[in-house]
Amino acid sequence: MLYRLVIHHRPGPELVRVFLPFTPRTDGPEGTPAIMHQLHPPTGRRFLGRSVRDRRAYREFRSEVELLVAGFEPAGPHRVCDSWDDYLNPWGSHSMSDQETDRIELTDEEEVVSER
């Protein structure tokens, strides 16, 4: 599938490859066209590989060994998002404090166990 690839320079040594829908640019940095094949269904840890033949082609793998055997090179951390805002704010615009919570009340007979 065709995506818009944006390389995000976050604090730290690694870059994050952000795959956004390839539509007329509506938000975020411009990016470059890239082909990305996702694992379906996306279960467990996924490893991103970059083709050594076509530098615009990426694919998700279930392990780094599988990635190398297929002739891809490791490409590091990545995210597939619906929009740039989705990448920057993955939990939405509301804060956790805005959410209602249920209060748990214990009776004298119940014991509270804490992990240490």
Q: Is the model's pLDDT at 43 over the cut of 60?
A: yes
Question: Would residue 83 count as lying in a domain?
Answer: yes
Question: Would residue 109 count as lying in a domain?
Answer: no
The whole domain housing 57 covers: 2-90
Q: Is the model's pLDDT at 77 over the cut of 50?
A: yes
Question: Would residue 41 count as lying in a domain?
Answer: yes
Question: Would residue 106 count as lying in a domain?
Answer: no
Q: Which residues contact 60 (CB under 8 A, 6 or more apart)?
A: 36, 37, 38, 39, 42, 46, 47, 48, 49
Q: How confident is the model at residue 25 (pLDDT cuts 50, 70, 90)?
A: low
Number of domain units in the chain:
1
Question: Would residue 30 count as lying in a domain?
Answer: yes
Q: Is the model's pLDDT at 115 over the cut of 50?
A: no
